[in-house]
Structure 1
Amino acid sequence: MSRRTSWAEYERAVRVYTEAGAAETVQRIVTALSRLSRRLDVFYAERFEALDLSRGEWPVLQALAIEGRHGHSNPSRLAEITGVSASTMTHRLDRMVERGLIERAPDPENRTRMVVSLTREGWDRFRRAVLDVEPQEAGIFASLSDAERQTLARLLEKAIAAQSRP
């Protein structure tokens, strides 16, 4: 699909939503974010496949990396973060242990629970994925100046923060 067609589809979508009664500015934002998200999803699926990562493994690696280089989590929390059932997470973690991406160990504070952490290979795979996709992510916003990117980031962060409040 050409960029011109994509832009025309974007404009048409916004027009349809506003004709249905939605606020134009809100629909411009939501439609733009939705379309960028879909494009990124397709891109990530392709890149992660090339890096031998499944769609299910990436959010686990990401969640554990966010805990810090030597941090950990537990299967229940990982299931909650990634939006899957506990049994699905157990199977996912089993595969990731077999592949050497993570390790499980008894929780030192509660031996009836397990903690999950990244292995060196898991961290390296996470890092390679981040570095692999970064140029494409940066390219999406290449038409914006540094100041515009900072403003966009600040505004999106403000919207996210407002959703996190009770």
Structure 2
Amino acid sequence: MTKRTPWAEYERAVRVYTEAGAAETVQRIVTAMSRLSRRLDVYYNARLEAIDVSRTEWPVLQALAIEGRDGSSHPSKLADAAGVSASTMTHRLDRMVERGLVERVPDPENRTRMLISLTRAGWDLFRTAVLDAEVGETNVFGPLTDAEQAALAALLEKVLAAQSHEPRRRR
């Protein structure tokens, strides 16, 4: 049996979808994005493991970093961002507090709720992960010139901006 190259597998997948009636250009885009996403996921998993960040901790670090260095969030919002239940997030936050990555403080506006924020160690770990991942991300898009990368980013942002609503969650 002949081993197929990743490019041959990509072409085969596009051909199968188009033979089933899908639009070729759309399938080329979707298939390429899907394969790049998988490739990046494999890279991210390895890099996060190397710097001692679990795949369950990463969405929390990411969501809190987006809130800003002095920002915070509620456990329920973090659970939504990570796509997990509130009880799962509570356990995740317990471990992250033990590791010194996040801290919990009572919400001054509602004493029954907690605010979660990154500690200095949590922020430093987030920054390390971002800088570490950039090497692989740069390599993935290395075949493109700076102008092509900017054009690709602009086109993807245009598609993303056109998605005016979030998909409904299944209950």
Q: Normalized against structure 2, the TM-score is what?
A: 0.93
Secondary structure at 1:25's aligned position in 2?
helix
> Structure 2 CA distance, aligned partners of 1:12 and 1:159?
26
Question: What is the distance in 1 between the residues matched to 2:67 and 2:106?
Answer: 18
Counterpart for residue 142 of structure 1: 142
Does 2:74 correspond to 1:74?
Answer: yes
Percent identical residues: 75
Q: Residues of 1 paired with 2:40 and 2:63: CA distance?
A: 19
Aligned residue for 1:80, secondary structure, equals helix
Count of residues in correspondence between the two structures = 163
Distance 2:34 2:47 in 1: 20
Residue 164 of structure 1 aligns to a residue whose secondary structure is coil
> Is 1:126 matched up with 2:101?
no
Structure with the bigger percentage of helix: 1
Provide the residue aligned with 1:153 in structure 2.
153
Unaligned runs of 5+ in 1: none
Q: What is the RMSD computed on CA atoms of the aligned residues?
A: 1.1
State the partner residue of 2:114. 114
Q: Deviations over 1:16-55 (max 9, x none)?
A: 0000000000000000000001011111111101110100
Instruction: Report the Cα offset of residue 64 of structure 1.
Output: 0.3
Aligned to 2:169: none
Matched, 1:102 2:99: no
| Deviation of 1:164 (Å) | 3.3
